[in-house]
Amino acid sequence: MSWSHKHILRLKDLDKDSIYTILEKGREFMEGLDRRPARSYEYLKGYTAANLFFEPSTRTRMSFELAQKRLGMEVLNFHATTSSLAKGETFVDTVQTIDAMNVDCIVIRHMKPGTPATAAEYSRASIINAGEGSHEHPTQALLDLMTLWLSGREISNLKVAIVGDILHSRVARSEIYGLQTLGAQVILVGPPPLLPVDLMQAGISHTDNLEDVLPEVDVLYLLRIQKERMAEAFIPDEEEYFKTYGLSLERLEATKDSCVVMHPGPVNRGVEVSHEVVSHSKSLILEQVRAGVALRMALLYLVLKG
């Protein structure tokens, strides 16, 4: 195994070997997590992590904290609303303050793109990007790749449709880099105002017709409609969106038997996907969450000990 990354800032920085090193380490931890009680380790005993979440999160924040505890780390949780940000402290001052406490790893979610990279400039700690604005969410894409890989699928043989609000999605950008690096075909599907011009100009296949791709794809990766990032109305209304781009049971029946459904969560039921599809046997949505803890254990282990 060769590993040379101190930080995880962007999926774009990781080559195929690095991604498979992460997935293999994640698979090792996955086996221990399936026990009850789950297996804990002391690999990172004595190391400290600080989790800085400036935006809401359930999956990413909780799975990082669980991953840190399962590896024996000390964990500090920063809550933006009750921190000195309320007194005007800047992001850089916050990072330098936490760095002065001698932490080993800082996990950051922030609404502004570029903040994890800024933190890497102002801190000695390893920085892990837990989602930045509409730019990247590398740990989500890695756990999605791990979910597909652990299901026995050969990623280089897959055709993956990424469906919905691609324009505002940090998950989509990381997902595209990761899938393409491992050799998968990607097709973007959504209403034209939600398909980013730069990705279309980069030559990525795209269509505004979901029906056309249903019979030919191996993975339907549905994205959340991100109302919090839409400065103007990009879709007529949610009911209309579901009629055109939502994954109903009827649409799911038009897919191959082997096709699977993924979504990073949180799901807007009845908007991107119907209630029935969320819990359908083709849905990997909870498998993605399950993989998230092991994948984040792998990343913490590799950036601190790899």
Give me the residues that bind ligand CP (CB under 6 A), please: 57-60, 131, 140, 264-266
Return the H-helix or E-strand segment holding 250.
helix 249-252
Nearest to 174 by CA among 202, 206, 142: 142
- State in angstroms the smallest separation of the CB of 136 from ligand CP: 12
Is 118 a known active-site residue?
no
Is 59 a known active-site residue?
yes
Is 87 a known active-site residue?
yes
Is 79 a known active-site residue?
no
Query: Which of 236, 266 has the CB closer to ligand CP?
Result: 266
- State in angstroms the smallest separation of the CB of 288 from ligand CP: 8
Query: Which of 212, 228 has the CB closer to ligand CP?
Result: 228
The answer to whether 195 and 162 have CB atoms below 8 angstroms apart is no
Is 110 a known active-site residue?
no
Query: Which of 123, 174 has the CB closer to ligand CP?
Result: 174
Q: How far apart are CA 29 and CA 26, in angstroms?
A: 5
Query: Which of 6, 59 has the CB closer to ligand CP?
Result: 59
* Helix spans in 36-154 (H): 59-70, 91-100, 115-122, 138-150
From the candidates 70, 109, 173, 290, give the one annotated as an active-site residue.
109
From the candidates 21, 48, 60, 255, give the one annotated as an active-site residue.
60
Structure tokens at 205: 């296949």
Q: How far is CA 99 from the centre of its chain?
A: 25
- State in angstroms the smallest separation of the CB of 131 from ligand CP: 5
- State in angstroms the smallest separation of the CB of 105 from ligand CP: 18
CA angle 109, 168, 58 (to 5 degrees): 40
The 8-class DSSP code of residue 272 comes to T
CA angle 41, 44, 46 (to 5 degrees): 120
Residues 6 or more apart whose CB falls under 8 angstroms from that of 210 comprise: 161, 163, 189, 244, 245, 251
Amino acid making up residue 174: S
For the CA atoms of the chain, what is the radius of gyration?
A: 19
Query: Which of 112, 256 has the CB closer to ligand CP?
Result: 112
- State in angstroms the smallest separation of the CB of 170 from ligand CP: 9
User: Which residues carry out catalysis?
Assistant: 59-60, 87, 109, 137
